[in-house]
Amino acid sequence: MELSGPRWKGKNYAQIANSNPMSEIIAQLQVCLSNSESAALPIGTDFLLETEPELTDLFNCTSFGRQLKTSNGSKGYFQLSPEETFYLHHYLNCLKVLINNANLINVNDLWNFMRSRNELFPIYYRAYMHLRSKNWVVKSGTNNGVDYVVYRHHPELVHSEYAVIVDWEKESGEKEGGRLRVWSDLHCAVRACNGVAKAVLLLNVMGYEVKFSLPELLERMTVGERQITRWLPSQCRDDCKLDNDVEADDIDVASDKNVINHTTRYWVVPLQTQTQPEIGEEDSDYAPSMSL
Amino acid sequence: MDGYNSSLPGSQIRLPICPNNSYCCIICCFFVLICVNLGKERTEVSKARWVEEIGMAQVIEKKGSLWVTTGVIRNGNLYCHIEEIGYLAQIGALVLLDEVDNVMGLKDIFTKCADRRYGCTWEFFEAYRHLKSLGYIVGRHGQPWSTKHDNLKPNSDFTADTGFIADRIEELQIGAANLMFDIHRPNSKFKKTDPGAPSFIICLVGDWPPRREEVEYLEEKCKLVPLKFCHVNHGDVRFFSFPKVSLPVLP
Sign of the alpha-carbon torsion through A10, A15, A16, A20: positive
- B226 vs A247, higher pLDDT: B226
Question: B31 in a domain, yes or no?
Answer: no
Number of residues in chain B: 251
Chain B residues closer than 8 Å to A203 by CB? none
pLDDT given at position A237: 55
Binary contact (B243, A229; C-beta < 8 A): yes
Scanning chain B, the segments in alpha helix (DSSP H) are 26-38, 82-90, 106-114, 122-133, 159-174, 212-222
Bridge partners of residue B58, in order along the sequence: B49, B79
CA distance A131 to A82: 15
Question: B230 in a domain, yes or no?
Answer: yes
Backbone φ, ψ for residue A165 (5° rounding) = -115, 130
Binary contact (A233, B134; C-beta < 8 A): yes
| Beta-carbon contacts below 8 Å between A and B | 90
Task: List Cβ neighbours of A221 (8 Å cut-off, separation of 6 or more).
Answer: A122, A126, A205, A206, A207, A208, A212
Query: Do A34 and A100 meet the contact criterion of CB atoms below 8 Å apart?
Result: no
Question: B26 in a domain, yes or no?
Answer: no
- A2 in contact with B at a CB cutoff of 8 Å? no
Chain B residues closer than 8 Å to A187 by CB? 238
| Average pLDDT score over residue span A141-163 | 93
Residue B166 pLDDT class (50, 70, 90 cuts) = low
pLDDT at A37 over 80: yes
* Range A67-74 contact pairs with CB under 8 angstroms and sequence separation of 24 or more: A67/A277, A67/A282, A67/A283, A67/A289, A68/A289, A68/A290, A69/A258, A69/A279, A69/A280, A69/A281, A69/A282, A69/A288, A69/A289, A69/A290, A69/A291, A69/A292, A70/A279, A70/A292, A71/A279, A71/A292, A73/A276, A73/A277, A74/A276
pLDDT given at position A138: 97
| Average pLDDT score over residue span A106-123 | 92
**Residue B245 is nearest to which of A134, A152, A227, comparing CB atoms?**
A227
Predicted model pTM:
0.77
Bridge partners of residue B187, in order along the sequence: none
Among A4, A191, A208, A228, the residue to mutate for chain B (most B Cβ within 10 A): A228
Torsion of CA A166, A167, A171, A173, to 10 degrees: -150
Residue A219 pLDDT class (50, 70, 90 cuts) = confident
pLDDT given at position A55: 95
pLDDT at A111 over 60: yes
Q: Does residue A151 have an active-site annotation?
A: yes
**DSSP labels, A53-65:** HHHHHHHHHHT-S
R_g over Cα of chain B: 19
CA distance B158 to B55: 10
| Weakest mean pLDDT among B32-36, B98-102, B246-250 | B32-36
**Domain assignment of residue B222, given as a range:** 41-240
Question: B160 in a domain, yes or no?
Answer: yes
Chain A residues closer than 8 Å to B214 by CB? none
| Weakest mean pLDDT among A29-33, B10-14, B83-87, B133-137 | B10-14
Which of A111, A52, A59 minimizes the C-alpha distance to A80? A59
Sign of the alpha-carbon torsion through B21, B23, B28, B34: positive
pLDDT at A283 over 50: no
Q: How many domains does chain B have?
A: 1
pLDDT at A119 over 80: yes
Rama region for B185: left / alpha / beta (φ>0; ψ in -120 to 50; rest): beta
Neighbours of A69 (CB within 10 A): 18
Number of residues in chain A: 292
Question: B25 in a domain, yes or no?
Answer: no
pLDDT at B111 over 80: yes
Query: Do B199 and B226 meet the contact criterion of CB atoms below 8 Å apart?
Result: yes
pLDDT given at position A192: 82
| Average pLDDT score over residue span A90-94 | 95
Residue A257 pLDDT class (50, 70, 90 cuts) = very low
Residue A128 pLDDT class (50, 70, 90 cuts) = very high
pLDDT at A52 over 80: yes
Neighbours of B202 (CB within 10 A): 26
| Average pLDDT score over residue span A191-211 | 86
Chain A residues closer than 8 Å to B212 by CB? 167, 169, 204, 224, 226
| Average pLDDT score over residue span B121-132 | 94
Q: What is the mean pLDDT of chain B?
A: 80
Torsion of CA B65, B71, B74, B77, to 10 degrees: -50
- A284 vs B134, higher pLDDT: B134
Query: Do A237 and A229 meet the contact criterion of CB atoms below 8 Å apart?
Result: no
pLDDT given at position A152: 96
Give tens-digit pLDDT for B26-77.
555 555 545 444 555 667 899 999 999 999 999 999 999 999 999 999 988 9
pLDDT at B5 over 50: no
Q: Provide the terminal-to-terminal Cα distance of chain B, rounded to the nearest Å.
A: 72
Bridge partners of residue B103, in order along the sequence: B97
Chain A nearest CA to B123, separation (Å): 15
pLDDT given at position B176: 65
Q: Is A166 exposed, middle or buried (0-12, 13-18, 19+ CB in 10 A)?
A: buried
pLDDT given at position B69: 95
Question: B211 in a domain, yes or no?
Answer: yes
Chain B residues closer than 8 Å to A205 by CB? none
CA distance A247 to B96: 51
**DSSP labels, A34-89:** HH---EEEEETTEEEEEE-HHHHHHHHHHT-SEEPP-S-SS-EEEEE-HHHHHIII
Residue A92 pLDDT class (50, 70, 90 cuts) = very high
Residue A175 pLDDT class (50, 70, 90 cuts) = low
- A190 in contact with B at a CB cutoff of 8 Å? yes
Domain harbouring B148, CATH code: 3.40.1350.150
Question: What is the interface pTM, i.e. ipTM, of the complex?
Answer: 0.78
pLDDT given at position A262: 42
Q: Does residue A159 have an active-site annotation?
A: yes
Which of B147, B16, B148 minimizes the C-alpha distance to B90? B16
Q: What is the mean pLDDT of chain A?
A: 79
**Residue B241 is nearest to which of A185, A231, A234, comparing CB atoms?**
A231
| Weakest mean pLDDT among A51-60, A145-154, B33-42, B239-248 | B33-42
Chain A nearest CA to B85, separation (Å): 22
Question: B4 in a domain, yes or no?
Answer: no
Q: Are strands A199-208 and A162-170 parallel, antiparallel or unpaired?
A: parallel
Binary contact (B250, A182; C-beta < 8 A): no
- A215 vs B126, higher pLDDT: B126
Residue A87 pLDDT class (50, 70, 90 cuts) = very high
| Average pLDDT score over residue span A105-117 | 91
Question: B82 in a domain, yes or no?
Answer: yes
Residue A173 pLDDT class (50, 70, 90 cuts) = low
Residue B147 pLDDT class (50, 70, 90 cuts) = confident
Give tens-digit pLDDT for B185-221.
988 899 999 999 999 999 998 788 888 888 999 999 9
Chain centroid to Cα A155, Å, comes to: 10
CA distance A59 to A52: 10
